[in-house]
């Protein structure tokens, strides 16, 4: 079994390297581009390993399982993962956030993986009701997870204090891949779903939204589609889409956004 697992990881690594080389080819072949490529490849391998380990375990649990990293009496911080990933793909980022004093830290385990974003938003709304029936929560989301959170905020105003969206294609992406799920067409630039979500009164102009994006993101293409004109936007260099999950710079920005005063937790990262 272990041999099969590692063979799968090696094969996936080769495919990922080939894909990344094609996508990052326009960046030039200098050391900076090679470091960026290597970082994104390692991040993709880490995410793949997490997926291989966690997916069989998820079959033994019911949806909405909420593992917590050391409970506390603070405001809940819910982590919402991206397309075809698993909750623990955000585990390192969540641990850094928890270590900085935020939390309790919780995860949305939405299912089925190939479902629609609005359906996932309904699952998030039910989780909000369970963990914080009397007050707003904070959300940290990666990629499609930010769209899930945005849709939930539009449908249920007042339930979210702060949203930190990491690499979220708010205005769509031209590189979402083939439509193997109901959510992929919803993430295309011409999507009516995106227009409706961004215009919802509970989300548009919300004062607690921070967008963290990377100029080197080759999944959210072009990268400015991860910006919101009315939100706080943090632009970084040299990080691929999956590498955002493991970056100390991203963790710093997330902690600053969650804090009452930005920069309150410089030790996060």
Q: Any idea what the Cα angle at residue 241 is, between residues 236 and 246, rounded to 5°? A: 75
CB 243 within 8 A of CB 39: yes
**Strands (DSSP E) found in the chain:** 77-80, 105-108, 137-142, 160-166, 209-214, 232-236
- Domains of the chain by residue range: 2-58, 77-258
- Kindly report the number of other CB atoms within 10 A of residue 26's CB atom: 8
Give 112-144 pLDDT, tens digit per residue: 989 999 999 999 999 999 999 988 999 999 999
pTM above 0.75, yes or no: yes
Which pLDDT band holds residue 104 (cuts at 50, 70, 90)? very high
Q: Does domain 77-258 correspond to CATH entry 3.90.1150.10?
A: no
Give 165-220 pLDDT, tens digit per residue: 999 999 999 976 677 899 999 999 999 999 999 999 999 999 999 999 999 999 99
* Spatial distance between the Cα atoms of 184 and 116, rounded to a whole number of angstroms: 8
């Amino acid at each position: 079994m272990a041999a099969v697992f590692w063979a799968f990881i090696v094969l996936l690594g080769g495919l990922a390297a080939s894909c990344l080389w094609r996508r990052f080819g326009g960046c030039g072949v200098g050391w900076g581009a090679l470091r960026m490529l290597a970082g994104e490849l390692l991040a993709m391998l880490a995410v793949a390993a997490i997926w291989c380990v966690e997916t069989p375990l998820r079959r033994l649990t019911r949806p909405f399982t909420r593992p917590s990293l050391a409970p506390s009496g603070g405001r809940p911080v819910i982590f919402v993962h991206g397309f075809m990933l698993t909750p623990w793909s955000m585990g390192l980022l969540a641990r850094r956030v928890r270590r900085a004093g935020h939390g309790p830290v919780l995860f949305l385990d939405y299912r089925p993986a190939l479902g629609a974003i609005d359906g996932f938003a309904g699952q998030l709304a039910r989780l909000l009701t369970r963990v914080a029936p009397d007050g707003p929560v904070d959300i940290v989301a990666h990629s499609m997870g930010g769209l899930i959170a945005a849709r939930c905020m539009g449908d249920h105003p007042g339930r979210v204090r702060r949203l930190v969206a990491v690499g979220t294609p708010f205005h769509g992406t031209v590189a979402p891949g083939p439509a193997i799920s109901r959510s992929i067409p919803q993430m295309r630039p011409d999507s009516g779903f995106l227009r409706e979500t961004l215009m919802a009164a509970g989300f548009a102009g919300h004062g607690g939204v921070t967008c963290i994006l990377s100029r080197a993101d080759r999944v959210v293409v072009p990268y400015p589609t991860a910006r919101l004109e009315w939100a706080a936007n943090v632009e970084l260099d040299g990080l691929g889409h999956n590498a955002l999950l493991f970056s100390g710079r991203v963790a710093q920005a997330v902690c600053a956004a969650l804090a009452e005063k930005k920069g309150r937790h410089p030790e996060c990262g």
